[in-house]
Every structure is written in C-alpha cells, then in structure tokens.
Amino acid sequence: MFKFCPACASEKINFMDGKVFRCPNCGLVYYHNTAAATGCIISVPEEAADSTSSAERILFLVRGKEPATGKLDLPGGFVDPGEGIFEGLYRELQEEIGWSPPIPDGASLADVFTLFASFSNVYPYKNIAYNTCDLYFYLRAPGLREQDLRLEQDEITAVRFLKPEDIDYNEIAFDSTRRAVQAYCMRAGAALA
C-alpha cells in the first residue's frame, strides 16, 4: 500500500503481520486496522403466502460500481468515523435506497436492527485491500415496494425482491454477504420469524 513512509518518505518502511506499517527511519507506526461494515437483510413478508412457497422476499441491490459491478448486494456499507454500528447502517439505508425503517415510540435503532451474523471480508477498492469486519442485521418491512425507494445514482442500478428459493448465490457480490444470506435463509421461517 505504501512504497514510501508517508511521514519521512523513506523507502525502508515495512508492512508487518498484515496490519502494521513501521518505518525504521523515523519511527512511524501506522495500523491499517479492520474497518467495521454493515449489511442488512430487509425482509418483506408475502401478503398471500401459501404453504408451497416462501413467505417473504429479500431486498437486493444491483451494484453500479466496482468492485463487483452488476452483482447482487445487500444495503449497508462502511461505518463512518464517529458513528455507532446502528447509526452507520441507518445512514447507509437513507443514502443507498432513500428509505429507512420506522422507529416505534420509545424504541431505539438497536430494537429495529437485529444482528444475526458476522464475517470478515476483504474489500478491494482502487488498489487497496480493506479488511472489514462485516456485521449483518435483518429487519421486517411489511408492504415495502420498489416505488417507496429512491436509489442512489451511479452506485445502484436496480433492486430485486427475491424469494429465498430464487436466489442465485453465484450472483452475490461478496463471499461474506453470500454466507450471511445463506445463514439467514437457513434460519428464516424458524428462529428468526
């Protein structure tokens, strides 16, 4: 990531243990820390579900930019400096899909988003590999429709509301997201419902 020390421009800078830069010339120590990121399963219950099909659809975004342009993703993203994990996710929903869940009187964001899985991920962006700790949440959004959403220009080209049995896992952008969707779908209809 750094060919030269960003403080003294020495070429002797070392990258150690996959996480820390140390410069023997000026003593700089810089940790390339894991970044927190979120993903959210927004589950829309089917209004007229029968016993032969799933009783829900999951909202996916179609990515409009690299990495993984055209692949399916969940809403969410990096937590910004100064944010908690719930605030970061709430902001990402507003930015990406122009929708955020209603918060009942007396409730908090922690009551709205339910954590169900977490995996590590490597997010390559413009020649830098960001190590992330991805946290996955779900929420139910009865009656949510595509026309309720306002998609972020250039970042997202479309949305899909998919039944669990119709998801093509090869079309999901990131391994951690694939694992999270699988974990959710295996539990859906049972413990999570």
Q: Would you tell me which residues interact with Zn ion (CB under 5 A)?
A: 5, 7-8, 10, 23, 25-26, 28
**Nearest approach, Cβ of residue 119 and Zn ion (Å):** 35
Please, are residues 45 and 142 in contact by the beta-carbon 8 Å criterion? yes
**Nearest approach, Cβ of residue 34 and Zn ion (Å):** 24
Comparing CB distances to Zn ion, the nearer of 7 and 183 is 7
Please, are residues 107 and 82 in contact by the beta-carbon 8 Å criterion? no
Helix, strand, or coil (residue 99): coil
Comparing CB distances to Zn ion, the nearer of 7 and 133 is 7
CA distances (Å), origin 84, targets 17, 61, 78, 80: 27, 23, 11, 8
Quote the CA–CA distance of 111 and 31 in Å, as a whole number: 33
Comparing CB distances to Zn ion, the nearer of 19 and 65 is 19
**Nearest approach, Cβ of residue 94 and Zn ion (Å):** 41
